[in-house]
């Protein structure tokens, strides 16, 4: 009976897949052409996912999607971030509707429901992988920015302490550096040159970086620019000292965690050596 049910469900699913295929295969080619094939599996079938997005009338204005869009906007331009968000959802839908019917049919033909379970796990893995891939890249980006920030802040503080205006110091730092943070400072300079108010450009810069330390730096500059304070150089020097102290503390904590992790294999090796020494001794005693 279970095989009949599996076969029926699988047949319905396969029919649905073919309906989506013939209805949408010539659509969404422009969207698929913009998808990076190295980032996704089976991108040529993504018209299935795009078709389901339209069929279900999924709106990306919900808090869930807006949060994802906000995170993607740290790495991509707003327009590109929206397209990547759509591609992610299309990929997840495509994987689900393409692999699940195969699992149902394989389980029905062989009489092994385990095959369906394996297929479900595969689909879950692919869906989670799409989410994890972006989160992993974003976390790596934050890590790189945090690593670069103390050095960039020190350069900026020294330049301004030497009497260089803020805009010139930002321009010099962005041109001399090659990291992610320097690139974002370059975008900040471009926004200011294009007439964007400094406080707005700095706010967007902090949002793109997505790191609390950079946000604190941007807020410090915004406050001093609005007040017309001449103490910005000194404030940046103080912030630089604070950031370096936090960086040293972070490195020390990471070192302590690494040492703690090393204790486990050391303990295992020690126990192994003790067994190699003690077991023969007890065997000789028994003799």
| 164-190: average pLDDT | 91
What pLDDT was estimated at residue 279? 66
- Assess whether 82 and 150 both reside in one domain: no
What pLDDT was estimated at residue 251? 63
Q: pLDDT at residue 198 above 80? A: yes
DSSP per residue, the chain: -HHHHHHHHHHHHHHHHHHHHHHHTTSSHHHHHTS-TTTSS-GGGHHHHHHHHHHTT--TTSHHHHHHHHHHTTTS-HHHHHHHHHHHHHHHHHHHHHHHHHHHHHHHHHT-HHHHHHHHHHHHHHHHHHHHHHHHHHHHHHHHHHHHHHHHHHHHHHHHHTT--HHHHHHHHHHH--SHHHHHHHHHHHHHHTT--HHHHHHHHHHHH--HHHHHHHHHHHHHHHHT-S-HHHHHHHHHHHHHHHHHHHHHHHHHHHHHHHHHHHHHHHHHHHHHHHHHHHHHHH-
Residues 59-81 pLDDT 10s? 899 999 999 999 999 999 888 99
In a domain, 266, yes or no: no
Overall number of domains in the chain: 2
- Assess whether 69 and 149 both reside in one domain: no
Q: pLDDT at residue 286 above 60? A: no
- State which of 229, 246, 263 marks the end of a domain: 246
Q: pTM value?
A: 0.80
Q: pLDDT at residue 283 above 50? A: yes
Q: pLDDT at residue 92 above 90? A: yes
Task: Give the range of the structural domain holding residue 104, as residue numbers without chain letter.
Answer: 2-111
Residues 35-61 pLDDT 10s? 988 889 899 999 999 999 999 999 899
- Assess whether 166 and 221 both reside in one domain: yes
């Amino acid at each position: 009976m279970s095989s009949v049910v599996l076969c029926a469900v699988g047949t319905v699913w396969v029919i649905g897949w073919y309906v989506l295929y013939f209805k949408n295969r010539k659509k969404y080619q422009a969207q698929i052409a913009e998808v990076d094939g190295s980032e996704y599996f089976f991108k040529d079938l993504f018209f299935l996912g795009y078709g389901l997005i339209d069929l279900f009338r999924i709106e990306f204005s919900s808090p869930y999607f807006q949060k994802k869009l906000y995170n993607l906007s740290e790495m991509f331009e707003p327009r590109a971030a929206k397209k990547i968000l759509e591609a992610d959802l299309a990929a997840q839908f495509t994987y689900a509707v393409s692999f699940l019917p195969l699992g149902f049919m394989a389980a029905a033909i062989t009489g092994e429901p385990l095959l369906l379970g394996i297929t479900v796990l595969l689909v879950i893995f692919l869906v989670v992988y799409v989410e994890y891939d972006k989160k992993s890249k974003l976390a790596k980006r934050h890590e790189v920015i945090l690593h670069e920030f103390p050095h960039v802040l020190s350069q900026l503080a020294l330049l301004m302490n030497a009497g260089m205006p803020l805009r010139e110091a930002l321009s010099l730092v962005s041109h001399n550096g090659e990291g992610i943070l320097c690139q974002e400072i370059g975008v900040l300079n471009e926004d200011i040159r294009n007439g964007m108010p400094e406080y707005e450009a700095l706010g967007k810069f902090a949002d793109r970086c997505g790191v609390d330390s950079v946000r604190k730096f941007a807020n410090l500059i915004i406050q001093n620019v609005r007040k017309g304070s001449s103490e910005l150089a000194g404030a940046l020097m103080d912030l630089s000292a604070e950031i370096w102290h936090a960086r040293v503390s972070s490195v020390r904590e990471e070192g302590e965690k690494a040492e703690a992790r090393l204790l486990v294999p050391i303990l295992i090796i020690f126990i192994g050596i003790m067994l190699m020494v003690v077991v023969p001794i007890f065997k000789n005693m028994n003799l």
